[in-house]
Amino acid sequence: MTRTRSGRLPSSPHQNLAYDSNEEEIEIAEEIEREDEQVDNESTIIVDPNVPVFQTIQTNAIIENGFCVLRSLGNGRYEIIQLSRFTETRMGEPDVGEQIECVSERKQLFTAMRASMRATVAKIEHACASADKENFPFMKLPTEIRDAVYEVSVKIPGPIRIRHSPFSATSRNLVLNLRCASSQVLAESNRYFYSNNFHVGEMPKDESIFNILQKVGQNMVEVTFEWWGWAQKDPTTLAFIKSLPKVKILNVSLTEYCVNGGLKSHKRQHLFQGVESIKKFNKSNGFDALVQFRGLEEVRVHRSPSLSLRPSNIDLNDDEIKALEVFLNAELTKPKIIKASTLGKKSKRVRSDDGDDDDDYEP
């Protein structure tokens, strides 16, 4: 295939095609072709240093307004594909595909353009929004002001509930879309977002949602566990919370089903059964899994909204809740247990009289 010296992309191996106002295909006269070649060497590019985004190309060649793809041919020559001149149908015809395929650099350019098209469209949208005064220069604000915005937009007083979707039943005051604005905003807002109290409920069955939960969980510091007395679900949820590396504060929310053994199918619990102060809780499903938590800095115990807002036959007073909180703080703030594989040798585990495991601990 022979390319013209003017750098135009012909629509067939031996023709240059353009569209008139009626979008009818016409041949460009050879005289115009020669005229373009004569002025081609006189073309210059002028860049305003104050506005480097916009470059001025000075040439007598006919270049229509619209979206273009530019490819360097070397020695100051360029191939220009004026996409706005042709319809989708025309660009998709076999002869155009053949001309793209036969020049490897041209094909690489089109492939790269297709991969970056979303970013290109986003740039155009941002430019239009800026021209229409719709963009706000948020990143030009002082750091202190941006921090104040993050504190009121991605941090809320109550817990963020995480159930069957990554963030369901969250406060309307939580502006998560702000974190999607840019990678810098995401990084800057992380310390405010992850200082929230995350309510982790039943583990989602959807793998993609669980993966999101697991990824977010890697930075959680404060977590709320609502104790429902399930024989399988509660221990599973607690096992997940235990796997989160940065959790330091655990809020235990008590429902009517975790008191006096609960109303659900009962599974025998083994630990701390002789402790009188927590006798209303130590027979409930999930108790053993809860009291084996280690490495926390603080445990808070309170009534669940489901127990506080509706009448219940459960006899539970504030002193009993406080006693459970004191007990859990004493146990759950102990150092984490070091696994035998970490020590490089087998550790002997001995069950003590109070139900705790006398094992090796991290300092």
pLDDT tens readout for residues 79-106: 888 888 888 898 899 999 999 999 999 9
CA distances from 78 to 22, 71, 158 (A): 28, 5, 60
Residues 59, 43 contacting (CB under 8 angstroms): yes
Q: Is 54 exposed, middle or buried (0-12, 13-18, 19+ CB in 10 A)?
A: exposed
pLDDT digits (tens, 9 = 90+) for 221-243: 999 999 998 888 899 999 999 99
Q: Is the pLDDT of residue 20 over 50?
A: no
| Lowest model confidence (mean pLDDT) among 141-150, 158-167, 314-323 | 158-167
pLDDT for the residue 40: 47
Closest CA to 7 of 87, 82, 111, 114: 82
Choose from 5-19, 115-129, 236-250 the range with maximum mean pLDDT: 236-250
Strands 55-58 and 44-47: antiparallel
